[in-house]
Structure 1
Amino acid sequence: MIITSLTHHALTQHAARALGILGAYWASLVRQGDLPLWSEVDPGQIQDALDHAFLAERFGHCHARIRVAGGAVEDMADKPCKGLPLSLLIRANDRAVFNEAVTACCIGGHPVEIALTSEEDLATRKVSARLVLYPLVDTTGRITQFLGGLAPVGDAIARPGPFGVVEVMAHRTATRRTHLRLVVDNT
């Protein structure tokens, strides 16, 4: 029993640390207020967080598709994730709120953190996992990708997702979104 508790504690600590690594890495890519290019993401720089990390590609107005995911993400989803919509990690009743969070990340250009609850915690809304999304841009300055992470919080999650959404938090950062503006020269 003690070994299981120590193992669980170590894994939980590693998961929280992995999300911290992803956040620090994304912040290090932000230069002079500009969002990082998706092509700048170097998996070697986040090696200790890869198990809890994923890359997702935006499609449509408020959706994202997982391009690649770490083993812990797939374990929490209970299925291989490559090519799946990111919203499949979320219960059907909470997908509208989740899609609004993805839209907020795209429009605001700020990271979004989503507190999730497991199937067994739906009544209490106890936070059992955290999902983070960090916006990445293409060469035209549009947000087309996300660096993300998914990690359990506290006690082990008895059954894998889908998860319910407890809370969505947008983190304001010192990023500068590029905007097009119309310039008319009538000279």
Structure 2
Amino acid sequence: MTMTMIHTLRSHWDSLRTNGELPLRSDIDPRQISDVLDSLFIFERLNPQDVRVRIAGLNLCEMMGMEVRGQSPMAFFDESTRRRFAGVVGDVLNRATVAYLGLDTLDKMGNEARAKMILLPLRSDFGDVNRVIGCVTGPDEGFTAPMQFHVRTIDMETPNSPEQNVQSFGFAEQGAGFIMDGTSSFRAISGGGSVRVKRPTQAASYLKLVD
């Protein structure tokens, strides 16, 4: 399921590109990515120094133990890799690149676990590249909120280049990102108990892509 979600979102994003242009935020069709919505997010760059979570699926909120809309995505990561992640987001927005991240985290038993994330640039209706759409996967065996991710690998891709095999996650040096605002880590809600994600049996979505 991990790679299926990433492939689904990437395929939808690719299908919306016309003459090499990046997709518009308004082009995203939730019906085409219904299996991804619970783990989907959209970041918005409000200014060069400030990027915020605009939309977040249910699974991401459960991972963090709280509603994350309006928060800085830096708080998803441990302090040692926040600057590195900021550089990746900066590259996605400034250079219109696609990023695949291999992440380390902990499962609900406290054991090391792996996760993956994809970041894709979007244009606003005015044509400027100021949004990032992506999804993130968590440990299959459940997790304890709030989670924090550690960036293990980064693979940057230029969209106009031949599609890479996303099964392998390499490493690319980060570019100049946005300035971090010093946001602290999220705190768990309701005591931060162990959370096991259960996917709905119906196609109903917990996420509506509206501004």
Residue 160 of structure 1: how far off its partner (Å)? 4.1
| Cα distance in structure 2, aligned partners of 1:161 and 1:60 | 27
Residue 90 of structure 1: how far off its partner (Å)? 0.8
Counterpart position of 1:28: 15
Aligned length: 158
| Cα distance in structure 2, aligned partners of 1:110 and 1:29 | 16
Q: Where does 1:1-80 land on structure 2 (aligned, <5 Å)?
A: 13=1, 15-61=2-48, 63-80=50-67
TM-score with structure 1 length normalisation? 0.75
Give the direction of change, closer, same or farther, for the CA distance of 1:160–1:20 in structure 2 (3 Å limit): farther
Taking only the aligned residue pairs, the percentage that are identical comes to: 24
Contact 1:16 1:153 (C-alpha < 8 Å) held by counterparts: no
Gaps of 5+ in 2: 162-211
Residue 134 of structure 1: how far off its partner (Å)? 0.7
Supply the AA of the counterpart residue of 1:58. R
Counterpart position of 1:173: 159
| Cα distance in structure 2, aligned partners of 1:63 and 1:16 | 30
Residues 31-84 of structure 1: CA distance to partner in whole angstroms, max 9, x if unpaired?
A: 111111112112222112101111111133365211111111112222211111
Residue 103 of structure 1: how far off its partner (Å)? 0.8
TM-score with structure 2 length normalisation? 0.67
| Cα distance in structure 1, aligned partners of 2:89 and 2:60 | 18
Contact 1:56 1:66 (C-alpha < 8 Å) held by counterparts: yes
Gaps of 5+ in 1: 1-12, 176-187
Give the direction of change, closer, same or farther, for the CA distance of 1:153–1:169 in structure 2 (3 Å limit): farther
| Cα distance in structure 1, aligned partners of 2:145 and 2:67 | 16
Supply the AA of the counterpart residue of 2:14. A
Aligned CA-pair RMSD: 2.3
| Cα distance in structure 1, aligned partners of 2:50 and 2:88 | 10
Deviates more, 1:38-47 or 1:93-102: 38-47
Counterpart position of 1:150: 136
Question: Which of 120, 125, 132 lines up with 2:118 in the alignment?
Answer: 132
Contact 2:92 2:132 (C-alpha < 8 Å) held by counterparts: no
